[in-house]
A = this chain, B = another copy of it.
Amino acid sequence: MTAMDRTAPAEQRLQRIGEVAEQVGVTARTIRYYEELGLLGSTDGRLKGAHRLYNDADVARLRELIGLRDLLGLSLEQLTELAEEADVAVCLRAQWENSADDADRADVLLAGLPHVQRQLELVRSRQRSLADFEAQLLTKLSRMREVLAAHDEQRDPTDPAAS
């Protein structure tokens, strides 16, 4: 990282709302609604009526929110709570960007750890539920096949064409 990177951050690729929506798999309306709820980062600095522009970090954040919503079935209220914790991290992240002190940077990371760990726990819990549901379906399936096999035997125990 050079001094120039620090003083004038590299020009990032900025995307418009339609491109972002398609990438993430939602509609533009959804993104605007999340912004309205304050789920996305600070939106001041955009003039009324001007186009919204998103950098890669914004897209990553949105993708994470949608993942938590879809895969874990969290409500937007729950996402807001989760995001408020994360906002501490985001707030600290700004501090990170401006911090020359490595100790400060470590503190920022330490604060973010439990946040990610909680998400991991939610994912694991959901995986267990899915495994249970899968087991139920497998039991059902094997019982059905059992009865079918018994019936096939009864109908024609020696027919090699029976499947």
Please give the residue numbers on chain A whose beta carbons come within 8 Å of chain B beta carbons, in ascending order. Answer: 67, 70-71, 73, 102-103, 105-106, 109-110, 112-113, 116-117, 119-120, 123-124, 126-127, 129-131, 133-134, 136-138, 140-141, 144-145, 147-148, 151-152, 154-155
- Do A112 and B144 touch across chains, with their CB atoms under 8 A apart? yes
- Do B73 and A109 touch across chains, with their CB atoms under 8 A apart? no
Tell me the number of copies of this protein: 2
- Do A106 and B151 touch across chains, with their CB atoms under 8 A apart? yes
A119: which B residues are within 8 A, CB to CB?
137
For this complex, 10 residue pairs linking A to B, each with C-beta atoms less than 8 Å apart, are A71-B126, A71-B129, A73-B73, A113-B144, A113-B145, A116-B140, A116-B144, A120-B138, A123-B133, A130-B130
- Do A130 and B123 touch across chains, with their CB atoms under 8 A apart? yes
Shortest distance from the beta carbon of A44 to any chain B beta carbon, whole Å: 28
